[in-house]
């Protein structure tokens, strides 16, 4: 039997001889504690303090009706689930049925053979102790989950603290970050490499949890600090090539990440970019859409990969949208996933609607989800290009 929860027997009977008989039955049984209550008016208080694993309750006692006491046990928080064996001097089907209806677990004509008494005590105690152990395990799990949730929330706050402030000037950037119910692997940023080049990126690590978040922060820190050895951060392709060398998934607990990385040069309005398995950035200009995609694989999947640098000229008034797949991989009411082409069509059709485009989209997907939490982080950046003056 469990060491945490020993067998504890409470006998409630007004006859001392019954109490003594049962005490002798249990005297040489290791691991069994016995308590005798000859005053039924004190039974509830004693049971609440003693916490028995089985109660043996006489039905015929002066002053207190044994069946009424059964009701009291089941109404009392401390004894609500405690196995209850009612004792009677004879077999009475009607009394037995009523006792069971009120919540009794067993019925004995007192007192049967010692072996039978022990067998019933152990049987009922074993089931109740299993319940107590399960409840204790659940309580410990709940506490552990509360502690873990607090740690995850703290980690999420830390990740949010790393996100950049909105950017204004020749390039203006706003962003929205909607975390899922789990700590995820989205991270993004932008910074001037020098007076002539603005770097911007958005990456998404596979999976969820602290490991994914830490990998996202590590990669973002290298980019923000321009700490990739032997790489000119103004050249997008070599940046991704070096990231792939550093973050091979066999050294990152089999995690990989997708990334879109670009460098904008206001002087000649050129945007150099490279894409490692990430959803295409959407560049709107001159009334059309240019999807800045590439065939590069996610970072970390294959060693010695070489990523190309692509370039496009950005016209005045152009808009660039960067996002993670959480912005469009949304389960609809019919259980089907929203398709990527549906997302692009929706963004294009409603790009000029009143109000901030990111807020409108987030409100749209929340309605699609009936305000249920998102299954993945949703990160979006709205980048607007003005006249190309130096910062």
Residue 153 to residue 300: CA distance in whole angstroms: 28
Note whether 125 and 171 are same-domain residues: no
Confidence of residue 135 (pLDDT cuts 50, 70, 90): confident
Question: At a CB cut-off of 8 Å and minimum separation 6, what does 229 contact?
Answer: 242
Residue 309 to residue 240: CA distance in whole angstroms: 9
Note whether 35 and 86 are same-domain residues: yes
Minimal CA–CA distance to 174: which of 330, 362, 306?
Answer: 362
Note whether 90 and 239 are same-domain residues: no
Note whether 376 and 232 are same-domain residues: yes
Render pLDDT for 195-226 as a digit per residue (tens, 0 to 9). Answer: 999 999 999 999 887 788 889 999 999 999 99
User: Would you say 322 and 202 are in contact if contact means Cβ atoms under 8 Å apart?
Assistant: yes
Only one residue has tokens 């016995």, namely: 34
| Statement: residue 391 has pLDDT above 50 | no
| Statement: residue 173 has pLDDT above 90 | yes
Residue 314 to residue 223: CA distance in whole angstroms: 23
Residue 308 located in a structural domain:
yes
Question: At a CB cut-off of 8 Å and minimum separation 6, what does 296 contact?
Answer: 240, 274, 275, 276, 277, 305, 307, 308
Residue 28 located in a structural domain:
yes
Residue 218 located in a structural domain:
yes
pLDDT for the residue 388: 46
Average pLDDT score over the chain = 88
Note whether 190 and 297 are same-domain residues: yes
pLDDT for the residue 83: 94
pLDDT for the residue 149: 67
Note whether 127 and 167 are same-domain residues: no
Residue 7 to residue 30: CA distance in whole angstroms: 10
Note whether 132 and 170 are same-domain residues: no
Residue 305 located in a structural domain:
yes
Domain that holds residue 194: 163-385
Residue 168 to residue 383: CA distance in whole angstroms: 10
Q: Residue 246 belongs to a domain with what CATH number?
A: 3.60.40.10
Residue 47 located in a structural domain:
yes
Q: Residue 51 belongs to a domain with what CATH number?
A: 3.40.50.2300
Q: Residue 77: what are its φ and ψ, rounded to 5°?
A: -60, -40
Note whether 375 and 236 are same-domain residues: yes
Only one residue has tokens 């039978």, namely: 116
Residue 37 located in a structural domain:
yes
Mean pLDDT of 160-168: 89
pLDDT for the residue 157: 76
Q: Please spell the DSSP secondary structure of 282-333, one letter per residue.
A: EEEETTEEEEE---BPPBTSSTT-----EEEEPPTT-EEEEE-GGGT--B-T
Note whether 36 and 99 are same-domain residues: yes
pLDDT for the residue 3: 58
Render pLDDT for 94-114 as a digit per residue (tens, 0 to 9). Answer: 888 998 999 999 998 887 888
Helix, strand, coil % in the chain, rounded to nearest 5: 40, 25, 35
Confidence of residue 182 (pLDDT cuts 50, 70, 90): low
Parallel/antiparallel/unpaired status of strands 186-194 and 7-12? unpaired
Look up residue 77 and give its DSSP letter.
G
Q: How many domains does the chain have?
A: 2
Residue 106 to residue 122: CA distance in whole angstroms: 13
User: Would you say 286 and 316 are in contact if contact means Cβ atoms under 8 Å apart?
Assistant: no
Note whether 225 and 373 are same-domain residues: yes
Q: Residue 138, Cα to own-chain centre: how many angstroms?
A: 16
Output the pTM of the full model.
Answer: 0.65
Note whether 173 and 81 are same-domain residues: no
Parallel/antiparallel/unpaired status of strands 106-109 and 319-323? unpaired
Helix (H) or strand (E) holding 130: helix 114-162
Render pLDDT for 47-84 as a digit per residue (tens, 0 to 9). Answer: 999 999 999 999 887 777 888 889 999 999 999 999 99
Residue 69 to residue 76: CA distance in whole angstroms: 10
| Statement: residue 2 has pLDDT above 70 | no
User: Would you say 302 and 277 are in contact if contact means Cβ atoms under 8 Å apart?
Assistant: no
Q: Please spell the DSSP secondary structure of 326-371, one letter per residue.
A: GGT--B-TTSPBPPHHHHHHHHHHTTTSSS-HHHHHHHHHHHHTTT
Note whether 208 and 315 are same-domain residues: yes
| Statement: residue 241 has pLDDT above 70 | yes
Render pLDDT for 329-362 as a digit per residue (tens, 0 to 9). Answer: 888 777 788 889 999 999 988 887 777 899 999 8
Residue 343 located in a structural domain:
yes
């Amino acid at each position: 039997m469990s060491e945490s929860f020993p067998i504890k027997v409470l006998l409630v009977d007004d006859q001392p001889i019954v109490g003594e008989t049962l005490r002798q039955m249990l005297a040489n049984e290791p691991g069994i504690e016995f308590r005798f209550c000859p005053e039924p008016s004190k039974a509830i208080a004693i049971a609440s303090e003693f916490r028995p694993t089985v109660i043996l309750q006489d039905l015929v006692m002066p002053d207190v009706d044994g069946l009424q006491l059964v009701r009291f046990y089941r109404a009392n928080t401390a004894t609500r689930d405690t196995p209850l064996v009612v004792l009677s001097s004879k077999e009475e089907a009607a009394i037995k049925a009523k006792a069971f209806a009120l919540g009794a677990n067993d019925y004995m004509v007192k007192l049967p053979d010692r072996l039978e008494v022990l067998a019933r005590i152990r049987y009922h105690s074993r089931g109740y102790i299993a319940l107590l152990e399960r409840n204790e395990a659940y309580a410990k799990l709940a506490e552990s989950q509360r502690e873990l949730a607090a740690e995850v929330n703290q980690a999420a706050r830390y990740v949010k603290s790393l996100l950049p402030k909105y950017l204004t000037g020749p390039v203006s950037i706003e962003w929205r970050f909607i975390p899922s119910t789990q700590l995820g692997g989205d991270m993004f940023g932008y910074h001037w490499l020098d007076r002539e080049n603005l770097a911007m990126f958005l990456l998404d690590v596979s999976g969820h949890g602290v490991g994914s978040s830490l990998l996202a922060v590590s990669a973002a820190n290298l980019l923000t600090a321009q700490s990739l050895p032997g790489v000119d951060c103004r050249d997008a392709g070599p940046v991704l090539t070096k990231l792939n060398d550093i973050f091979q998934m066999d050294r990152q607990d089999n995690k990989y990440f997708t990334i879109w990385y670009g460098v904008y040069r206001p002087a000649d309005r050129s945007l150099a970019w490279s894409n490692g398995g990430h959803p295409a950035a959407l560049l709107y200009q001159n009334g059309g859409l240019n999807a800045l995609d590439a065939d590069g694989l996610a970072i970390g999947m294959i060693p010695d990969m070489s990523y190309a640098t692509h370039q496009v000229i950005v016209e005045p008034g152009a808009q660039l949208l960067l996002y993670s797949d959480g912005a469009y991989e949304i389960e609809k009411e019919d259980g089907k996933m929203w398709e990527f082409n549906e997302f692009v069509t929706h963004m294009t059709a409603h790009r000029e609607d009143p109000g901030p485009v990111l807020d409108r989209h987030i409100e749209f997907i929340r309605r699609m989800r009936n305000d249920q939490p998102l299954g993945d982080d949703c990160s979006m950046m709205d980048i607007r290009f003005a006249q190309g003056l130096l910062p």
